[in-house]
């Protein structure tokens, strides 16, 4: 049976300023977005639509604001609205933790809409550029969760070779699923490979975005069966977690978006 090594959350210091691993994971995510985004816009069909590398720089700026603001507000409203209503100043105390992917996604959607409006691009076209570059950021985020020893998994059979004890859980040494690594592999690496290969050829507008929503929704829904539900929420209706219920609209919306994209492309080809 494995035991989480309880990494020091501080990677190193610059003079007296602590540099946390989780911050480095965010930095890696933004760097990967720039590198991958530049490759995406350099593809002939995207360059022909007027995309240039400077657009990726600007998208990153908008995206960072969307991730931080949306992620924090999503956590506030999706997970602890009552607690933050009692102490609204704690909303600003992001150093205490508390970010929501689904809230961050909504924040990024708003950021993309503003970018598309200001630059004259179609919103769904912007989504197709961004989508293949997102899973690597999700992967680095899950690595950050694992290093911090947070968001651990549900109890696992002790005979499972990779079952892990998380001392941070203060649960008496119960072996658990390292669900952070499951999410790293699923919504991170696997989803990246699928999207990157899919987007290597011209696709109907909104197809890549739809596949991202569908793929993330499915991988997150499955991973939630191994992830310990938030203790202040527990399981909801049907025995599903809050994360699963928030993933259902993504699965349905992604499937509908892909169907719409290909039907629209067929109508345009027949016209």
48-86 per-position pLDDT tens digit = 999 999 999 999 998 888 887 877 777 766 666 666 566
125-160 per-position pLDDT tens digit = 999 999 999 999 999 999 999 999 988 999 999 999
| Residue 154 counted as an annotated binding residue | no
Task: Report CA-CA distances (Å) from 21 to 8, 36, 118, 149, 208.
Answer: 8, 22, 35, 12, 31
Distance CA 63, CA 25 (A): 16
Distance CA 164, CA 178 (A): 6
Does residue 96 surpass a pLDDT of 80?
no
| Long-range contact pairs involving 34-37 (C-beta distance under 8 Å, separation at least 24) | 34/60, 36/132, 36/133, 36/136, 37/129, 37/130, 37/133
Q: Is 173 left (phi over 0), alpha (psi -120 to 50) or beta?
A: left
Q: How many CB atoms within 10 Å of residue 83?
A: 12
30-41 per-position pLDDT tens digit = 999 999 999 999
Distance CA 110, CA 96 (A): 25
Name the least confident of 72-76, 118-122, 141-145, 221-225: 72-76
pLDDT of residue 241: 92
Distance CA 241, CA 89 (A): 28
pLDDT of residue 78: 64
pLDDT of residue 26: 86
């Amino acid at each position: 049976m494995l035991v989480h090594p309880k990494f020091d959350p501080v990677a190193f210091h610059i003079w007296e300023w602590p540099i946390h691993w989780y911050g480095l994971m965010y930095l890696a995510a933004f760097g990967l977005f720039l590198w991958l985004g530049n490759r995406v816009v350099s593809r002939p069909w995207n360059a022909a639509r007027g995309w240039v590398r400077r657009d990726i720089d600007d998208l990153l700026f908008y995206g960072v604001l969307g991730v931080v603001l949306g992620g924090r507000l999503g956590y506030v409203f999706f997970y602890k609205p009552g607690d933050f209503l009692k102490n609204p100043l704690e909303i600003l105390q992001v150093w205490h933790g508390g970010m929501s992917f689904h809230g961050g996604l909504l924040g990024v959607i708003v950021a993309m809409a503003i970018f598309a409006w200001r630059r004259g691009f179609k919103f769904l076209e912007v989504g197709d550029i961004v989508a293949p570059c997102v899973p690597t950021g999700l992967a680095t985020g899950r690595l950050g969760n694992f290093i911090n020893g947070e968001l651990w998994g549900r109890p696992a059979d002790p005979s499972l070779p990779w079952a892990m004890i998380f001392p941070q859980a203060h649960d008496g040494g119960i072996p658990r699923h390292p669900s952070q690594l499951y999410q790293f592999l699923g919504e991170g690496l696997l989803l990246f490979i699928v999207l990157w290969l899919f987007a290597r050829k011209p696709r109907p507008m909104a197809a890549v975005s739809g596949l991202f929503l569908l793929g993330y929704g499915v991988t997150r829904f499955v991973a939630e069966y191994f992830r310990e539900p938030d203790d202040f929420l527990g399981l909801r209706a049907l025995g599903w977690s809050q994360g699963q219920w928030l993933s259902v609209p993504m699965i349905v919306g992604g499937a509908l978006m892909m169907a719409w994209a290909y039907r629209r492309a067929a109508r345009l080809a027949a016209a």
